[in-house]
């Protein structure tokens, strides 16, 4: 591993949270405009994080409670480094899609641990909902992943990206898969109608209810990275990883990176639009929803891939 790689890793580790916070700020603005409000400035999230990190009073329930935010950040940071980001393929040859899927779980389990340790029943309910939601969207999502992996005959995300550069983007080759994946992305983002774990009006932000101060600050950072990671996963799977220009030149690289940012934002934006106008499902409705239509569509998509690839 060369020194440039290490610089790139550190650079990305700094850049991605900042980008995510920016997205979150813009999201607040957009939602406000849809709801005919003015909304906070787009840089409000930076101010919030700084405020939270400098808070004087922090409460802790136990050391397990402290693990929560730490694990959340650790898990997402690690996952991030294995995902190709607009031409930057940091470690993606050392871990394939399955590794990424499981690395993403670390932060979730971390938050769940911390939330559980708080002893607040709202946290417990929130975690339960989050886990159930995960099980809900994971079934169609796995089927979709399988269709992509079989179509490109690899489990490596970097390989999938480079094969899309050679052939067509997967969104064109496998449109049905892309649609289902986007439905799953809504659940991964935790946006309405799938925001049951947070559900401020029901369980008072669920897992986060006991967290404040620097704890909440770290959780915000986690959320910021998570948006980029989840969005980027979709972009890599279906939108060719945002690689449209020749990556051998520096200009091309820079442009690719910008395209990638744009595409990730696009995915986030679509989710936001749905979020802004949708009510919330009950958790069992969400489960029934995901295991019904998206799953059926995913199976059709999978059969399509099997037919296509057997030719």
Partner 1 sequence: MDYTAFIRPEYVLMLLFAGALITYFAGKYSSMARYSLSLLFSGLALLMVALLYGKNTLSVWTPSITPNGISMYVGTNPLTWFFAIILASLSFLTIMYSIPIMKGKRMENWFYTLTLLLMGSMLGVVFSSDLLSFFIFWEMMTLSSYLLVTLAGKRSDKAALNYMILSTMGAYSMLTGITMLYVHFGTTEFSLLSAQIPGTPVNFLWLSLGLVAVGFLVKSAALPFYVWAAPAYSEAPDGFTPLFSGALSKLGAYGLFLFMYVIVGMSALIGMGSFRGVSSFGYAIALLGSITAFIATLYAIREDDIKRLLAYSSVSQVGYILMGLGIGTSLSVAGSLYHALNHALFKTVLFMGAGAIIQLTGTRKMSEMGGLATRMPITFLTMLISIFSLAAIPMTSGFGSKWLIYEAAINKGFVFIAPLAFVASVGSFLYSFRLLQAVFLGQLPDGLKDAKDPSLLVTIPMIALTSITVLFAIVPGVPLGAIASAESYMGIQPIQVDSLFYFRIGNSFGAYNALVVMTILLFAMLVAMIMFAFAGSKSKKVDQHDTYLSGEIYEHHSDLGLHYAANFYRPIERMFEPYLRLRLERTYDAFGRGYELLSEGIRRVYSGDVQTYVYYVIGFLGMLIILAGWWW
- Map the footprint of partner 1 across residues 169-208, applying CB under 8 A: 204
Residues near 10 by beta carbon (within 8 Å), at least 6 away in sequence: none
Give the binding-site size for partner 1 (rule: CB under 8 A).
82
Subset of residues 53 to 112 that bind partner 1, contact rule: CB under 8 A: 53-64, 66, 69-71, 73-75, 77-78, 81-82, 91, 93-99, 102-103, 105-106, 108-109, 112
Closest CA to 65 of 255, 210, 184: 210
Q: Which stretch binds partner 1 (CB under 8 A): 123-131, 230-238, 255-263, 269-277?
A: 123-131
If one asks whether residue 135 binds partner 1 (CB under 8 A), the answer comes out as: yes
Residues near 91 by beta carbon (within 8 Å), at least 6 away in sequence: 9, 81, 82
For residues 39 and 29, give the distance between their C-alpha atoms in angstroms, rounded to a whole number.
Answer: 5
If one asks whether residue 270 binds partner 1 (CB under 8 A), the answer comes out as: no
For residues 194 and 304, give the distance between their C-alpha atoms in angstroms, rounded to a whole number.
Answer: 28
* Helices 97-117 and 157-166: angle between axes, nearest 10 degrees: 130
The smaller minimum CB distance to partner 1, of residues 271 and 286, is found at 286
Shortest Cβ 174–partner 1 spacing (Å):
14
Closest CA to 68 of 135, 125, 123, 133: 123
Q: Which stretch binds partner 1 (CB under 8 A): 31-39, 144-152, 175-183, 247-255?
A: 144-152
If one asks whether residue 116 binds partner 1 (CB under 8 A), the answer comes out as: yes
Subset of residues 16 to 55 that bind partner 1, contact rule: CB under 8 A: 52-55
């Amino acid at each position: 591993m060369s020194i440039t790689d290490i610089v790139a890793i550190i650079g990305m580790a700094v850049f991605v949270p900042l980008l995510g916070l920016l997205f979150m700020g813009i999201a607040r603005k957009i939602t406000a405009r849809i709801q005919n409000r003015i909304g906070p400035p787009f840089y409000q999230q930076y101010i919030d994080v700084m405020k939270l990190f400098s808070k004087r009073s922090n409460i802790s329930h136990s050391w397990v409670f402290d693990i929560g935010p730490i694990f959340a950040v650790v898990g997402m940071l690690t996952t991030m480094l294995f995902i190709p980001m607009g031409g930057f393929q940091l470690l993606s040859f050392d871990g394939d899609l399955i590794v990424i899927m499981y690395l993403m779980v670390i932060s979730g389990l971390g938050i769940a641990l911390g939330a559980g340790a708080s002893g607040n029943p709202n946290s417990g309910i929130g975690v339960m909902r989050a886990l159930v939601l995960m099980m809900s969207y994971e079934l169609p999502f796995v089927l979709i992943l399988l269709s992509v992996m079989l179509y490109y005959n690899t489990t490596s995300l970097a390989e999938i990206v480079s094969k899309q550069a050679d052939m067509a983007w997967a969104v064109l080759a496998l449109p049905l898969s892309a649609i289902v994946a986007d439905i799953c992305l809504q659940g991964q983002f935790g946006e309405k109608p799938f925001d049951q774990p947070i559900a401020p009006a029901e369980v008072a932000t669920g897992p986060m209810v006991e967290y404040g101060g620097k704890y909440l600050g770290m959780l915000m950072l986690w959320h910021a990275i998570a948006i980029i990671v989840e969005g980027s996963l979709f972009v890599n799977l279906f939108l060719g990883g945002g690689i449209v220009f020749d990556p051998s030149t520096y200009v091309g690289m820079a442009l690719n990176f910008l395209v990638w940012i744009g595409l990730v934002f696009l995915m986030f934006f679509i989710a936001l639009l749905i979020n802004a106008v949708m009510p919330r499902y009950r958790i069992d409705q969400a489960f029934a929803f995901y295991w019904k239509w998206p799953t059926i569509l995913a199976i059709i998509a999978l059969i399509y891939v099997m037919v296509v690839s057997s030719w």
